[in-house]
Amino acid sequence: MSEHTTDVLVVGSGIAGCAAALGAAREGASVTLVTKTTRPEGASTWWAQGGVAISRDDPEGFKRDILDASSGTANEDAVDVLVENANDVVRNVLVETLDVDFDTGDDAEFDYSREAAHDQRRILHVDASTGKHVHVPFLNYLDAHDRVTIRDDTAALDLVTHEGRVHGAVVEDGDEGEPIFAGATVLATGGIGDLYPRTTNPDGSTGDGIAMAALAGADVADMEYVQFHPTAFDDEAPSAPDSEDTADQSFLLSEAVRGEGALLRNADGERFMPDYHADAELAPRDVVARTVAREREATGEVLLDTSPLDFAAEFPDLLEKCEDRGIDWETGIPVAPAEHFCCGGVAVDDRGNASLDRLYAVGECARTGVHGANRLASTSLLEGLVWGLRAGEDAAGFDPTVVEAPDLLNRDPELPDNFAREKFVRLRRVMDEYVGLERTPDGLGRAHGVLRRLKGEVDAYVRTRTSRSLYELRNASITALLVARAAAENDDSVGCHYLADGEPAQARADD
Ligand code: SIN
């Protein structure tokens, strides 16, 4: 085995991983950033539409909206860190360092947009495809940085730990693999969309960082709070065009479209949101998502009616997506909820420190406390940026130590045909049915049992084999179990953890 050392190892290449790399490099550390993707599109950041909320001149108002969206469950200290740093970090990194060309109005001032549960316009954006306009310059900037090495197509398999401290990770790129020893390790592996049949996340969102951290013994929190976006394109709706092409069928219709006045109507043409919440289409995301799901179930489909706005002029990139797929957007775009964001994750403090020494987590795989039970729109890029930078700066101060690492790579990589695919189908079915938008104690108990058995089957293979797809399946099965267990143990129906009835299901005490 070759020995690779670096001051800071960052796992993941979305905005949080990039910000961590930047923060550490600015402190003079050598940084190795590994990502299992080969294209920017492999990170959720690239797909982000809405934008980056900032405090402008009203941090208190921004804080209030975050707390309200979370039904008062967000951690106030964490929210203070976010809102107090928002303006400076966005200006310093996105505007001055990366030169992101946020949309401006005729007066050359920023054109702030509004989304659900924001009481004012405070979202910086580039059309409705902000993510890629931030992500690509960030990767290019780091690529040119002499203290940063980016290794793509390189998956982290397990953390290297010794006497309670994390010393890096074992990574695999193709058939080759090696431990990378690091003074500090920052997990920035994104979300868990692969656990559900419909998601806005890119493929490969298998909760890798959360699973690796949990396996190493780090604390994980708030996993029951899985956020569903109310308006992803519904490719199964009666009015959706037939498509042979199964790739990229669903896509997000940004909340910014409702922020500009679009309405939700059921299959009978009725606008229903005012019957459910005073803020109607701009109610908190969990409320809109559940209501859309119910109306879709009851009437057959739900349509996003863009007639109150000039959709073509205001959202040219979404218009193009609709036209590419043959969607007749003028009669309404069929929409359905899709898994969008995991509010929980590796429990971290206000600088991204996890409960294990020299381990950090940032971005979607981290639980900072900012989101509580439900995340306010357009706060995820900001959270990734703020915590990524702070964690990177903090992680920069340690020398790497070479310790004994697990030798995972000299094992038989062959798996039975369709092994991972069949397990993923089972896992997603259970998560969709019992651990989705609405949960019941019975269903959670059942899901927990099925997922434990599934994890046992996967573990039996992991003991003797190593391959990226098997480890992704392992990570997904661990993460699914964490979600189901946290949900079963929480009898407080709040935010994204909505209990439809009855008493809480108890996870088995011996799990
Ligand atoms: C959206 O554009 O609706 C997504 C924004 C977010 O999830 O923060």
378 Cβ closer than 6 Å to some ligand 1 atom? yes
Strands 165-173 and 176-187: antiparallel
Q: Using an 8 Å Cβ cutoff, are 117 and 376 in contact? A: yes
Q: For the chain, list residues with pLDDT below 70.
A: 1-2, 175-176, 244-249, 409-413, 502-511
Terminal-residue alpha carbon distance, the chain = 36
The sign of the dihedral angle between the CA atoms of 164, 409, 180, 2 is positive
Position 244 scores a pLDDT of 61
Whether the CB of 50 sits within 6 Å of ligand 1: yes
The ligand 1 atom at the shortest distance from the C-alpha of residue 255 is 3
Provide Rg for the chain, Cα atoms.
Answer: 22
Rounded to the nearest 5°, which phi and psi values hold at 435? -125, 40
Closest atom of ligand 1 to CA, residue 377: 8
**Pair 10, 188: CB distance under 8 Å:** yes
CA 381 to ligand 1: nearest atom = 8
Contact 155, 36 (CB under 8 A): yes
Cβ atoms of 281 and 117 closer than 8 Å: no
**CA–CA dist 85, 374 (Å, integer):** 21
Mutate to test the pocket of ligand 1, among 255, 260, 333, 340 (most ligand atoms within 8 A of CB): 255
Which residue of 45, 115, 132 sits with most ligand 1 atoms within 8 Å of its CB, as the best mutation to test the pocket? Answer: 115
- pLDDT value at residue 504: 38
pLDDT confidence of residue 406:
83
Q: Taking each helix axis from N to C terminus, what angle separates 130-143 and 15-26, rounded to the nearest 10 degrees?
A: 30
Q: Is the CB of 352 under 6 A from ligand 1?
A: no
* pLDDT (0 to 100) of residue 463: 87
| pLDDT score at 137 | 98
The SS3 of residue 254 is coil
DSSP 331-373: G-EEEEEEEEEES-EEE--TT-B-SSBTEEE-GGGEE-SSSTT
Q: What is the pLDDT of residue 507?
A: 36
Query: Nearest residue CA, atom 1 of ligand 1?
Result: 254
Q: State how far the Cα of 499 lies from the Cα of 490, in Å rounded to an integer.
A: 9
Q: What is the DSSP string of 55-74?
A: -TT-HHHHHHHHHHHTTT-S
Report the candidate in 296, 216, 305 with the shortest Cα–Cα distance to residue 258.
Answer: 305
Residue ID of nearest Cα to ligand 1 atom 8: 378
Mind telling me the catalytic residues?
285
> With a 6 A CB cut-off, is 256 part of the ligand 1 pocket?
yes
Q: What domains are there in the chain, each with its CATH number?
A: 25-180+198-225+343-395 (3.50.50.60), 230-338 (3.90.700.10), 419-510 (1.20.58.100)
pLDDT tens, position by position, 45-75: 999 999 999 999 999 999 999 999 999 999 9
Distance 52 CA to ligand 1 centre (A): 9
Residue 411's pLDDT is what?
67
CB 255 less than 6 A from any atom of ligand 1: yes
